[in-house]
Amino acid sequence: MTQELLQMFKMGRTRLTNQLPNIKESDLTKKLHPNSNSIGFLLQHIGEVEHLFAKNVFGLDIKVTMQTVGKTIHDTGKFTNLEAELNLLEDAAKVLEQAILKHQDADWSSNVTTAEFGTVTKAEALARIISHTAYHAGQIGLILKYAN
């Protein structure tokens, strides 16, 4: 089961990774609306949340710094370094893969509880991070297509 779930994670993440070669550094500040998030902010957010999942949901012993999550957090336009964002996303993928692979098949039916989505199985939690990344990848795709 672990190998199948790892493949699902990798496939789901292609909604993001297939777009990355088309993103230029000048795209990172693009938004659909002045009050919405930029591509740079969304890339940073995806990387941070994937790291957070690896730590808090799947138990990997890593340090996580959050700059894009919280009630008072908003996009200030500071995520403008494409290389840094791509490196963060690459590391996040490796960390989540490592977290997934440390689980035995039977572990996926065990429960995990978080403030964000309550008590779910670890398999359901994996679905949550896959859909989270795909959701924001869709936003990035819309911004790339329609923003000036």
Domain edges within the chain: 2-68+77-146
pLDDT-derived band at 148 (thresholds 50, 70, 90) equals: confident
Domain 2-68+77-146 CATH superfamily: dinb family like domain (1.20.120.450)
Q: What is the pLDDT of residue 117?
A: 86
pLDDT-derived band at 114 (thresholds 50, 70, 90) equals: confident
Average pLDDT over residues 22-41: 97
Q: What is the pLDDT of residue 70?
A: 87
Q: Is the pLDDT of residue 18 over 90?
A: yes
Q: Give the DSSP letter of residue 48.
A: H
Overall pTM surpassing 0.75 (yes/no): yes
Higher pLDDT, 117 or 22: 22
Identify which of 88, 68, 69 has the alpha carbon closest to the alpha carbon of residue 78: 68
Sign of CA dihedral 32, 78, 71, 117: positive
Q: For 18-108, where are the alpha helices, taking DSSP H only? A: 39-52, 82-101
Identify which of 49, 53, 58, 52 has the alpha carbon closest to the alpha carbon of residue 99: 58
Q: Give me the percent of the chain exceeding a pLDDT of 90.
A: 95
Q: What is the Cα–Cα distance from 36 to 148, expressed in whole angstroms?
A: 14
Q: What is the pLDDT of residue 63?
A: 95
Contact 49, 12 (CB under 8 A): no
Q: For 48-73, what is each residue's pLDDT tens digit?
A: 999 999 999 999 999 999 999 988 89
Q: What is the Cα–Cα distance from 8 to 40, expressed in whole angstroms?
A: 25
Mean pLDDT computed over every residue of the chain: 96
Give residue for tokens 């039916």.
Answer: 109
SS3 category, 59 = coil
Average pLDDT over residues 101-106: 96
Contact 99, 54 (CB under 8 A): yes
Q: Is the pLDDT of residue 34 over 90?
A: yes
